[in-house]
């Protein structure tokens, strides 16, 4: 058969003979013709097979081929040669009059049809991945990964490779996944920050995007047990500089997604014009100011010292249409590596970035504690054994420098940009407390 092109390329040709291949997305027919909507990774297109147009070939007589074509079911894979033309009535505005069709793989009756429950679709995730919805999300996700690399590399950051098996917690023991490690045990990484802190002494500015694991017991629409975090760590950076980097990163990701995924966003029901307006600068407020906004604008009381819960973050974000950075959370509730602000020691030099429209915390970061004794005290307070952290404490013993970093939850960002109801659709095979298959 001829040189194959994508459906998108075929449509941009507008006329003449084209060869495409893909899967049957929809089918209907009579005893004289068959309408096939064919899907590939680029788009869908309507194809009409007329019995009278089929010819005999070494493999089949025209009659035999027609018999097979008329029995084609959804998701069968085919190669098609035909003439393309504009057709207003067709689902994507073009139609192919089929001259030759080759059946590559027949399909059993596809188990997924209309109106199936979310759980059923999750059970059949290996097949549901082919849906146009998930295909569009995965394309946006791919743009986000590309944007991360482009952004950091253009700024002279090095990509670093941290381990997944770790002897210690980074974000508290409660959500650690323990794994058997030969005759001993260890954990799956919750964040590679501690290793990043080791690497900045060699590379200074680094980034890495990789899977992180947390035994989250909350069944929220924002938590996964396995998620991808885009982390960065920078020597010589302080809180203002690192939070500025986070803002630039998010603005850049939006720019890239708007530029590359217009069709996908449309398919997902996302308003592109709204996304285009999300440009720098993004506001920065302190935790204390956030409580004041909640009190004054939403009549919501949060006791100073309590972490912001989902409902409070959502309420706060009703007053903003761009992401915001919230700094200076209470020291008492923050991880051991976040240093007290010397100007106000009951707060820390940390920040979260919150997304609008109820998508919550997309980034968490901070300046890092550089004082050895303060680190030890913090670890002990979290109930950690100092022995396990000796290697990390060494970093404060040999030419320590101020540094800072952050982690961005890739799925949270994808869910927000794709306007998804649940974070589970932002990752191909979601793992949660209740699901580890397929
Ligand atoms: O705020 P977190 O816990 O920060 C850290 O782990 C730092 N060590 C990162 C660093 O400074 N290098 O997690 C960072 C981000 C969160 O803001 C959130 O977007 C995402 O990771 N995240 C999750 N996303 C999905 N499911 C979960 N269970 C998540 N936990 C955190
Ligand atoms: Mg956090």
Residue 114 pLDDT class (50, 70, 90 cuts): confident
Strands (E), 215-369: 226-235, 284-286, 324-327, 340-341, 344-348, 350-355, 360-367
User: Across all residues in the chain, what is the average pLDDT?
Assistant: 96
Q: Judge if the beta carbon of residue 231 lies within 6 A of ligand 1.
A: yes
Instruction: Find the ligand nearest to 360 CA.
Output: 1
pLDDT in tens, 187-240: 999 999 999 999 999 999 999 999 999 999 877 889 999 999 999 999 999 999
Q: Where are the domains of the chain?
A: 7-105, 123-426
Going from the Cα of 191 to the center of ligand 1, the distance in angstroms, rounded, reads: 7
Going from the Cα of 352 to the center of ligand 1, the distance in angstroms, rounded, reads: 10
**Please, is 342 exposed, middle or buried when counting C-beta atoms within 10 Å of its C-beta (0-12, 13-18, 19+)?**
exposed
Going from the Cα of 407 to the center of ligand 1, the distance in angstroms, rounded, reads: 6
* Residues 316, 323: Cα–Cα separation, whole Å: 11
Q: Judge if the beta carbon of residue 368 lies within 6 A of ligand 1.
A: no
The pLDDT, as a whole number, for residue 201 is 98
Flag whether pLDDT at 291 surpasses 60.
yes
The pLDDT, as a whole number, for residue 219 is 79
Residue corresponding to tokens 């982690």: 407
The pLDDT, as a whole number, for residue 62 is 93
Selection from 96, 5, 14, 93 nearest residue 49 by Cα: 96
pLDDT in tens, 358-400: 999 999 999 999 999 999 999 999 999 999 899 999 999 999 9
Q: Tell me what the mean pLDDT of segment 316-337 comes to.
A: 97
Site to substitute for ligand 1 among 365, 412, 417, 422, most atoms within 8 A of C-beta: 412
Residue 1 pLDDT class (50, 70, 90 cuts): low
Torsion of CA 339, 345, 349, 352, to 10 degrees: 110
Q: Judge if the beta carbon of residue 226 lies within 6 A of ligand 1.
A: no
The pLDDT, as a whole number, for residue 168 is 84
Q: Tell me what the mean pLDDT of segment 35-39 comes to.
A: 98
β-strand partners of 24: 38
Q: Tell me what the mean pLDDT of segment 66-74 comes to.
A: 95
417 preceded by a cis bond (ω within 30 of 0): no
CATH 3.40.50.300 matches 7-105: no
- How many residues are given for the chain? 438
Strands laid side by side in the 158-159 sheet: 158-159, 205-213, 226-235, 403-409, 360-367, 350-355, 324-327, 284-286
Going from the Cα of 297 to the center of ligand 2, the distance in angstroms, rounded, reads: 24
The pLDDT, as a whole number, for residue 402 is 98
Q: Tell me what the mean pLDDT of segment 244-260 comes to.
A: 98
Residue 197 Cα to chain centre, angstroms: 25
> Which DSSP letter does residue 182 get?
T
Flag whether pLDDT at 427 surpasses 60.
yes
**Closest residue by CA, ligand 1 atom 2:** 364
* Residues 184, 426: Cα–Cα separation, whole Å: 34
pLDDT in tens, 13-33: 999 999 999 999 999 998 899
Express as a percent the part of the chain with pLDDT over 70.
Answer: 100
β-strand partners of 47: 36, 96
The pLDDT, as a whole number, for residue 115 is 83
Atom of ligand 1 lying closest to residue 366 CA: 11
Instruction: Find the ligand nearest to 214 CA.
Output: 1
Going from the Cα of 56 to the center of ligand 2, the distance in angstroms, rounded, reads: 65
* Residues ≥6 apart with Cβ < 8 Å to 23: 38, 39, 40, 75, 76, 77, 78, 130
**Class of the domain covering 123-426:** alpha beta
Q: Give the number of other Cβ atoms within 10 Å of residue 187's Cβ.
A: 21
Pairing of strands 177-181, 205-213: unpaired
Predicted model pTM:
0.97
């Amino acid at each position: 058969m001829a040189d194959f092109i994508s459906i998108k390329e075929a449509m941009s040709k507008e006329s003449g003979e084209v060869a495409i291949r893909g899967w049957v997305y929809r089918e209907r027919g009579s005893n004289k013709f068959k309408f096939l909507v064919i899907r590939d990774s680029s788009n869908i297109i309507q194809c009409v097979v007329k019995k009278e147009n089929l010819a005999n070939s070494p493999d089949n007589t025209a009659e035999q081929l027609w018999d097979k074509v008329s029995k084609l079911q959804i998701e069968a894979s085919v190669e098609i040669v035909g003439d393309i033309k504009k057709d207003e009535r067709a689902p994507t505005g073009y139609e192919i009059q089929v001259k030759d069709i080759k059946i590559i793989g027949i399909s059993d009756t596809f188990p997924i049809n209309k109106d199936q429950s979310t759980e059923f679709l999750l059970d059949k995730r290996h097949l549901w991945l082919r849906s146009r919805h998930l295909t569009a999300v995965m394309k946006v996700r791919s743009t986000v990964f590309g944007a991360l690399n482009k952004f950091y590399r253009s700024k002279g950051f090095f990509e670093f490779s941290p381990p997944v098996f770790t002897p210690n917690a980074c974000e508290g023991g409660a959500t650690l996944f323990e794994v058997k490690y030969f005759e001993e045990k260890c954990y799956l990484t919750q964040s590679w920050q501690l290793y990043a802190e080791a690497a900045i002494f060699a590379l200074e500015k680094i980034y890495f995007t990789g899977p992180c694991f947390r035994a989250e017991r909350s069944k929220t629409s924002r938590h996964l047990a396995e998620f991808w975090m885009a982390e960065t760590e920078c020597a010589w950076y302080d809180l203002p500089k690192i939070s500025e980097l986070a803002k630039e990163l998010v603005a850049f990701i939006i720019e890239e997604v708007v530029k590359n995924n217009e069709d996908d966003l449309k398919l997902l029901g996302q308003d592109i014009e709204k996304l285009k307006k999300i440009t720098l600068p993004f506001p920065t407020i302190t935790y204390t100011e956030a409580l004041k906004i909640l009190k004054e604008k939403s009549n919501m009381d949060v006791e100073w010292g309590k972490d912001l819960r989902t409902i409070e973050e959502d309420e706060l974000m009703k007053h903003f249409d761009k992401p915001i950075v919230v700094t200076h959370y209470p020291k008492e509730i923050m991880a051991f590596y976040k240093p007290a602000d010397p100007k106000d020691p009951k707060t820390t030099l940390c920040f979260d970035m919150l997304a609008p429209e109820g998508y919550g915390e997309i980034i968490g970061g901070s300046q890092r504690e550089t004082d050895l004794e303060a680190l030890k005290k913090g670890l002990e307070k979290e109930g950690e054994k100092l022995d396990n952290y000796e290697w990390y404490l060494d970093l404060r013993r040999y030419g320590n420098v101020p540094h800072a970093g952050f982690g961005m939850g890739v799925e949270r960002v994808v869910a927000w940009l794709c306007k998804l109801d649940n974070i589970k659709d932002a990752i191909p095979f979601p793992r949660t407390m209740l699901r580890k298959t397929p």
